Chain A
Amino acid sequence: MFFKKLILGGLISLFFSSSLYAADCGPNGQSIRILASDFPAIHAIANSAESNCAGSASDFTRNHTTEARQIMNAAQTPNPAEYTSVIVANSTLVQLMNDGLVRPLDDLVEKYGGHLKSNQLITVDGKIMAIAFMANSQHMYYRTDILEKSGVDGVPATYDEIISAAEKIRAAGIMEHPLVMNLKVGWNVGEVFNTIYLAQGGDFFKSGSAEASINNAKGVAALETMKALVEYAHPDHLTQASDDTQGLWEAGQAAIGFMWGSRGGVILDNEGSSAEVTSNTLLASAPTVTGGSIPGATLWWDGITIATNVSDSDAEATFAALVSGMTSEMVAANNDDAIWLIDGFNPGPAAAGVSATAQGGAKSYPMYAQMGLLHNALGAELVDFLKGSESAEQALSDVEAVYETAAKDAGYL
């Protein structure tokens, strides 16, 4: 009897002490509910938060969905909100802030965020609104063996060099369509324009106003570059997004690609592809325009936010749980899943592209409140130009007209 009690007591104290040692989970018995996108790095953060703090919370639920962007505003508007935390990226933070659905985190960071690095803190107007944990961007993937076989010297670093390399590969009869890019009508095709337009040094809006200003020489040049690239892309490019381009790459049907950094780990691992592809795939910075210095990419971060419409103690417990997972141990265990912004990250070959792109001075995805509307308009209206049924100037003026109509209806103009 005595022994039983002793063992039981020992076990209980062991259980408590281990959970107390592991992390400070804030107030006990709170509800933690997380909405997040669905890729390995986000799972890693949420997993470690769950294993640290699910024991001390009254409930701990997670909803991982690639449609998070589409449901977050509707889910967070009621009081109490559906989720206590949404894991966001640049553009989705703006989307939530436009409706006032995230709270400032300054006091929580002071209490629980001693181990966070200062560049993890996303501030808007001086207030901390999100804690970033990873970076992402588009960049170039290339196949060393194919470039070598077709006589391309060195790594192409500008769009023009890429186009001439693609022409050499075609001329050598190795591939008819050596390029892959995410050009699916809608968000993806708009994003490709954004990256090249930023490489041209363009601005999306007239300074200080919500009036679009993309119908200019830089916009036309960006579109011409896009058109030249598309000549060498798979004929179905207007239907292809990340999963499709990754598939083409892993099937060995492409030699140069513009894809997301977050695909690097998946492409380089030994699943879904042949050794010939993975051993010859290298990741490099996004290209610049000839004579330019800005890589054609948008830099992204992913980070956590805390909902406005939840009780302060739920908010505190959620924040404590999520930042408790941002440790060097978590990074060590999931090193190749992301370009971590957390201490202890050891950049491997899968991180080379994003690092080079960020160091090259690429721009962040613009955080303008009305950016999403312009992005939608780009995604819808550039297609006619790419199909060849419209001039670049006409396409850009269509974009501006569509944006203007939508922005007026949404109250931005």
Chain B
Amino acid sequence: MKHSTFLLFSFPSLSVMFLFIAIPIVSVFIQSLHIEHKQVIIVTENCDPFGCEKTTTVDTEASAKLKEQKPLGRYNGFKTYTNRMHFAIFEIREAWKSSDSFTVFAKKLYNYPLYRALSFTLTYTFVVTPFVLFLGFLVALGVNNLPKMFKGPTIFASLLPMIVTPLVGSLILFWMVDGDGVIGATLQKIFNDNSLSLKASPVLTWIMLIVYGIWHLMPFSFIVFYAGLQTVPQETIEAATIDGASKFQRIRHVVIPHLMPLAIFITLILLMDNFRVFEPIIGFKAEAHATSISWLIWNHLRESAYPLYNAAGATSIITIFGVAILLLPVLIRTWRDFKEKNKG
């Protein structure tokens, strides 16, 4: 293809990507370098039905003038990235100096919101992704071997966890694990402990969120693998059968290599999705024990009275870098495979 034709063909998609992906990211980045203007604060006497008290009030006229001159706010450089809300560079250095063992240091690290969120986000990503890949593959194999008349209903039922909106799904599970709910009450009976609560213990909360994540995402990998299984060349399978390959050997040496590109695709999507885990934390009201990077962004913006655009922007940029780092190994591998193929 001529270069000019290629450019002409890709121009629409490139321009859309520029408009809806590149510009917003740049604008978020610029916002993350600025903080609000100094508020002009005056002391006033406020009276309500219960009495009068001296408090502080923002002088809106004076503050508005500042805003009009420089709508972006004050330039703050990368301080938002290094402050306590994010990488906490200064605090970490102090913590490193004052701790005599790594566990003490790790415990101190866990006190800072970004590291706390990262620890759950990464655990979630690296546990949920392989489980979803593996279980989804198993379900796809199972469904593929069903008699034809059962296939339709089984596929529909297996897709349900994905069809249910994440928030609704997590709320339903949240009620079930309540001390008065089906799962919660059963567990209390089994362990004979009336104060056992899945919501009160950090470890159990993490497990609950991870199990929910696997349940919710499995249909995605199942349906992609199932579609892939329809394209497995029957001749190769037959040839392998004639050569005396067992069922397991056929799967190991024919089916899995055939589905490998799909597995890489699913891994990429899952890594990205899981790194941005958010809804289950809200649905399970799990903020006390588990926070994620996306939850942090939401938390910075949640209070409409004091939206911290700079902090939300910085966390967003950190998320983008996080996703990029996660995907790097998979992308490098794909690139290498692609080059090797082209050599032959």
Contact = CB atoms under 8 A, between A and B. Distances in A.
Nearest to A253: B180
Interface stretch (B98-106, B222-230, B303-311): B303-311
Nearest to A124: B46
Given A73-B305, A135-B49, A236 B39 contact: no
Contact of A368 (B37, B55, B61): B55
A99 B56 contact: no
Given A387-B202, A410-B306, A368 B56 contact: yes
A208 B37 CA distance: 20
A369 B44 CA distance: 11
Interface residues of B, number: 56
Given A72-B304, A405-B83, A125 B45 contact: yes
B288 interface: yes
Contacts of B56: 210, 368-370
B47 interface: yes
Given A184-B285, A238-B288, A409-B311, A90 B48 contact: yes
A123 B47 contact: yes
B202 A236 contact: no
Contacts of B85: 402, 405-406
Contact of A364 (B39, B53, B57, B84): B53
B304 A95 contact: yes
Name the residue in B49, B61, B304 with the highest tally of chain A Cβ atoms < 10 Å from its Cβ: B49
A301 B64 contact: no
Contact of B49 (A72, A341, A411): A341
Contact of A301 (B42, B49, B63, B302): B49
A367 B53 contact: yes
A409 B310 contact: yes
Contacts of A358: 50
B38 interface: yes
Interface string A231-246: 0001111110000000
Given A236-B178, A358-B50, A176 B194 contact: yes
A299 B50 CA distance: 8
Contacts of B202: 387
A405 B81 CA distance: 12
Interface string A203-234: 00000101000000000000000000000001
A72 B84 CA distance: 29
Given A341-B49, A364-B48, A411 B38 contact: yes
A86 B213 CA distance: 40
B43 A185 contact: no
B200 A238 contact: yes
B310 A123 contact: no
Interface string B282-311: 000111110000000001001111101011
A238 B90 CA distance: 31
B288 A185 contact: yes
A120 B49 contact: yes
Contact of A236 (B36, B55, B84, B199): B199
A111 interface: no
Interface in A58-94: 69-74, 90, 92, 94
Contact of B35 (A71, A73, A363, A408): A408
Contacts of B288: 185, 238-239, 383, 387
B55 A122 contact: no
Interface string A6-34: 00000000000000000000000000000
B55 A367 contact: yes
A161 to B, nearest CB: 24
A401 B49 contact: no
Interface in A354-370: 358, 362-364, 366-370
Interface in B6-38: 35-38
B194 to A, nearest CB: 7
A370 B39 CA distance: 10
A71 B304 contact: yes
A398 interface: yes
Contact of A99 (B43, B60, B178, B311): B60
B293 to A, nearest CB: 15
A373 interface: yes
A73 B301 CA distance: 13
Interface string A364-399: 101111101100100010011001001000100010
Interface string B74-117: 10100010011100000000000000000000000001010000
A256 B150 CA distance: 55
Contacts of B83: 405
A239 B285 contact: yes
B179 A410 contact: no
Contacts of A123: 46-47
B195 interface: yes
A176 B84 CA distance: 40
B37 to A, nearest CB: 5
Contacts of A132: 48-49
B41 interface: yes
Contacts of B146: none
4 smallest CB-CB distances across A and B, nearest first, come from A100-B60, A95-B305, A411-B36, A125-B44
26 contacts: A69-B305, A70-B302, A70-B303, A121-B47, A122-B49, A124-B57, A125-B42, A125-B57, A132-B49, A235-B179, A235-B195, A235-B200, A364-B51, A367-B48, A369-B41, A380-B113, A383-B287, A387-B289, A394-B111, A401-B84, A402-B85, A406-B85, A408-B35, A409-B76, A409-B80, A410-B36
Interface of A: 69-74, 90, 92, 94-95, 97-100, 119-126, 132, 135, 176-177, 184-186, 208, 210, 234-239, 299, 301, 341, 358, 362-364, 366-370, 372-373, 376, 380, 383-384, 387, 390, 394, 398, 401-402, 405-406, 408-412
Interface of B: 35-39, 41-51, 53, 55-58, 60-61, 63-64, 73-74, 76, 80, 83-85, 111, 113, 178-179, 194-195, 197, 199-200, 202, 285-289, 299, 302-306, 308, 310-311
